[in-house]
Amino acid sequence: MLTIVGATAAAVMVISYALEERGRVWIAVFAAACAATALYGLATEAWVFAGLEAVWSVVATRRFLTHQDAHTKP
């Protein structure tokens, strides 16, 4: 079961990363998927993987908070 959760989180992460240019919501999905893969890393005791994914989650969350969609720019 844990493997399915990890694989799903990783798949969502890759798909949302590819769709980030389509809108701000995909950046939020990417950040959430990174957090999910970090939790998966913690659950499987893959500490380095968990740490890297946690950093990606923080970076993506920050990008989400500062990003403006093309139609909202002045």
Q: In terms of C-beta distances under 8 Å and separation of at least 24 residues, what long-range contacts does 1-9 make, across chains too?
A: 2/40, 2/43, 2/44, 5/36, 5/40, 6/37, 6/40, 6/44, 9/33, 9/36, 9/37, 9/40
What average pLDDT does this structure show over 36-62?
A: 95
Owning domain of residue 33: 2-72
Looking at residue 51, its pLDDT comes to 96
CA dihedral over 64, 62, 18, 41, signed as positive or negative: negative
Residue 61 has pLDDT above 60, yes or no: yes
Instruction: Say how many domains are in the chain.
Output: 1
Looking at residue 71, its pLDDT comes to 59
**Mean residue pLDDT across the chain:** 91
